[in-house]
Amino acid sequence: MAFKIPYGRQNIEQDDIDAVLKTLQADFLTQGPKVKEFEEKFASYVGANYALAVNNATSGLHLSVLAMGLKEGERVITTPITFAASANCIRFANGEVWFADIDPDTYLLSIESTRKLIESKPKGFFKGIIPVDFAGLPINLEAFKELADEHNLWIIEDACHAPGGYFTDSKNTINNCGNGNYADIGVFSFHPVKHIACGEGGMLTTNSKEIYTKLSLLRTHGITKENMIENHGGWYYEMQELGFNYRLTDFQSALGITQLAKNNKGVQRRNEISNNYKKAFQGKIKFQSLPKGTYNAHHLFVIETENRKDLYDFLRSHNVFAQIHYIPVHKLPYYQNIGYSNANLVNAENYYSKCISLPMYPSLSNEEQKFVIDKVLEFIN
> Residue 2 has what pLDDT?
67
Nearest CA-CA partner of 151 in 125, 132, 169: 125
Is the Cα torsion angle 63, 68, 69, 71 positive or negative in sign? negative
Give the chain's largest Cα–Cα span: 76
* Residues 6+ away with beta carbon under 8 Å from 196: 163, 188, 190, 256, 259, 260, 263
- 16 vs 330: CA distance, rounded Å: 39
Could you give the 3-state DSSP secondary structure of residue 372? helix
- 204 vs 215: CA distance, rounded Å: 9
Task: List pLDDT tens digits, range 139-170.
Answer: 999 999 999 999 999 999 999 999 999 999 99
Is the Cα torsion angle 169, 165, 349, 71 positive or negative in sign? negative
> Residue 92 has what pLDDT?
98
What letter does residue 252 receive in the DSSP assignment? H
- Give the type of residue at 171: K
Query: 341, exposed or middle or buried, with CB in 10 Å at 0-12, 13-18, 19+?
Result: exposed
In order, the DSSP letters of 350-368 are HHHHHEEEEP--TT--HHH
- 196 vs 43: CA distance, rounded Å: 14
Which residue ranges of the chain lie beneath pLDDT 50?
none
Task: List pLDDT tens digits, range 181-232.
Answer: 999 999 999 999 999 999 999 999 999 999 999 999 999 999 999 999 999 9
Instruction: Give the E-state strand segments of 222-292 in sequence order.
Output: 223-224, 238-239, 286-287
> Residue 113 has what pLDDT?
98
> Residue 341 has what pLDDT?
87
Beta bridge partners of 102: 109
Peptide bond into 326 cis (omega under 30): yes
- Give the type of residue at 197: A
Could you give the 3-state DSSP secondary structure of residue 6? strand
